[in-house]
Amino acid sequence: MLNAWQREVGAYRITPWQMSNDKQERPLKILLVAPTLPIVGGQTVQAERLFLRLKEETVIEVSIQSINPRFLPSFQRVKYLRTAVTSLKYWFDLLRRVPRHDVIHIFSASYSSFVISPTPALLAAKLFGKPTILNYRSGEADDHLTRWKKTAIPTIKAFDRIIVPSGYLIEVFKNHGLEACSIFNFIDILRFPFRKRDPLKPVFLSNRNFEPHYNVSCVLRAFAILQNAYSEARLIVVGDGSQREELYRIANDLDLRNVDFRGAIPPSEISSIYREADIYLNTPSIDNMPSSILEAFSAGLPVVSTNAGGIPYIVENERTGLLVDIDDHEALAAAALRLLNDNAFAQGLIENAHEEVKRYSWEKVRDQWLSVYRELANK
């Protein structure tokens, strides 16, 4: 299945569904416009998951249009030429593929990427009279809509539907005069099998990209405290990004032991990393609805996280996880130590979280997506 995603071969014809009057109708043609590998991040993961699930549906014919199409490898090695050629290829693909589809489902981040990726897809859809979904996913939404309100808000209003993955973003959009509805992120629970951890061991995991708003340095500072309490403590750090060298320097300055920087791990391989660890640490300063928390819930890792953005909408403090204030590494370490020192409490959190994650399965969101597609296609 993953090969089909990575090949991005276009439309996948599925058998039409039977209507109640036995009249056959053709499947709805949905075009997902989204980042694909080698871009690593939450949008890429969710787009891949949605694509693969829709591909199985008998009522949908789904295609994927990458916002970062790759071709002519010789051009990919030249920085500015790569950007220009990729943009031209993206526009060409949109103009060629949008007319063939019934609904254009556009994934979106914020700031300049909102201009570069979703906006061209919106314009192409308007040109050919196709209904559009803005699937906005950035935890930086409030700042984006505040700073770019003269351009971002009118553009967003031009979409037919605004779908966000959390109640948090519904509130943010409402505060800016925009109406959005929520369809949760989902995970394949079977891909993140539960492993019982009783008692917990001091083996910690961080799985966020190395960008300033994810504040991975806070995890490193907390781990300095944790390794003083448990000499055998280990920290697995998954991710990459602009702060790579700075995080290596911080780890060295703190004289951290047993820190294993794994780099960026493909989504298809990440479940094995969860199996290695016992406690998940998450310290963003800005966030929306990180799938990594849901993956930890499913795999049986108790979660200790900052209370940034939409995280309190999916983690209930002291019931499904522990929440601390942003950039408070001492509180983060204390919360992790509490789990290690109070096994009964930790096991209760793990059980509650594992039950909670069932709300975020494909079976729970499937009908919502199909309903939106049908409604827009029939307008």
> Quick check: 242 and 211 in contact, CB under 8 A?
yes
Residue 120 structure tokens: 């061209």
* Region label for 285, one of left (φ > 0), alpha (ψ between -120 and 50) or beta (otherwise): alpha
Question: Side-chain half-sphere of 94: how many Cα atoms within 13 Å?
Answer: 28
| pLDDT of the residue at 10 | 37
CATH architecture of residue range(s) 2-186+362-377? 3-Layer(aba) Sandwich (3.40)
| Closest C-alpha among 33, 69, 75 to residue 50 | 33
CA torsion angle 324 328 333 339 (round to 10): 0
Top pLDDT among 329 and 7 is at: 329
Reply yes or no on whether the pLDDT at 295 is more than 50: yes
Apex 13 CA angle, 11 and 17, nearest 5 = 135
Q: What is the DSSP string of 238-302?
A: E--STTHHHHHHHHHHTT--SEEEEE---GGGHHHHHHH-SEEEE--SS-S--HHHHHHHHHT--
Q: What is the CA radius of gyration of the chain?
A: 22
Beta bridge partners of 234: 203
Handedness of CA 210, 137, 114, 267 (dihedral sign): positive
Average pLDDT over residues 100-122: 96
Q: What are phi and psi of 19, to 5 degrees?
A: -80, 165
* 72 burial type by CB count under 10 A (0-12 exposed, 13-18 middle, 19+ buried): exposed
Rounded average pLDDT over 278-284: 98
**Distance, CA of 112 to CA of 85 (rounded, Å):** 18
- Mean pLDDT value across the chain: 91
Query: Looking at residues 271-285, what average pLDDT do you find?
Result: 98
Q: Give the pLDDT confidence of 195-216 residue by residue, as tens digits.
A: 999 999 999 999 999 999 999 9
State how far the Cα of 276 lies from the Cα of 234, in Å rounded to an integer: 10
User: pLDDT grade, residue 42 (50/70/90)?
Assistant: confident
Say which amino acid occupies 350. Answer: I
Instruction: Determine the pLDDT at residue 60.
Output: 95
- Backbone region of residue 105 per phi and psi (left: phi > 0; alpha: psi in -120 to 50; beta: other values): beta
Higher per-residue confidence, 50 vs 20: 50
- Which pLDDT belongs to residue 11? 36
Each residue of 135-146: pLDDT tens digit?
999 999 999 999
Q: Percent of the chain having pLDDT more than 90?
A: 85
Question: Is residue 355's pLDDT more than 60?
Answer: yes
Residue 190 has pLDDT above 60, yes or no: yes
Q: How many CB atoms lie within 10 A of CB 80?
A: 7
Topology given in CATH for the domain delimited by 189-359: Rossmann fold (3.40.50)
Distance CA 306, CA 213 (A): 12
Average pLDDT over residues 281-303: 97
What is the pTM for the complete model shown? 0.87
Section 349-371 average pLDDT: 97
How far is CA 16 from each of CA 5, 25, 57, rounded to the nearest angstrom? 22, 6, 9
* The two structure tokens encoding residue 53: 């699930």
Taking CA atoms, 77 is separated from 32, 71, 72, 73, 113, in Å, by 27, 11, 10, 7, 21
Q: Give the pLDDT band of residue 41 (cuts 50, 70, 90).
A: confident
Where in the chain do CATH 3.40.50.2000 domains reside?
Answer: 2-186+362-377, 189-359
Six-digit token string for 172: 């943010």
Instruction: Give dist(CA 222, CA 215) in Å, integer.
Output: 12
